[in-house]
Amino acid sequence: MQTSHATMQGPAIYQIRVQGIVPLDWSSRLMGMNITLSSEDESTLVGRLPDQAALSGVLSALTISNIPYYQSNAWKSADPRRFRP
């Protein structure tokens, strides 16, 4: 399957890297994103979000929880299992 970069409209697969540990049970709090602990001080979130507003909600939840994010990637369509740390 070929991937292409997402536009700012419509659904997309997002990968967000954060500094710190995101509890695994926060998936529902973060729009169902899959949470992977990349190392002892980094987590990676991967999942399909319906639009830019949903991404903003995820990023806001991280900010409110004092979990800094430092990288976000988006793909128009793809299997989210391909984007593991």
pLDDT in tens, 16-50: 999 999 999 999 999 999 999 988 899 999 999 99
Asked if the structure places residue 59 within a domain, the reply is yes
Q: Which range of residues forms the domain containing residue 31?
A: 12-79
| 44 Cβ contact list (under 8 Å, min separation 6) | 15, 16, 17, 18, 35, 36, 38, 84, 85
Asked if the structure places residue 26 within a domain, the reply is yes
Please, which residues bridge with residue 8 across strands?
none
Asked if the structure places residue 31 within a domain, the reply is yes
**How many distinct structural domains can be found in the chain?**
1
- CATH code of residue 30: 3.30.70.600
Question: Which tens digit of pLDDT belongs to each residue from 67-82?
Answer: 999 988 888 765 555 5
Asked if the structure places residue 84 within a domain, the reply is no
Q: What is the pTM of this model?
A: 0.79
Residues present in the chain in total: 85
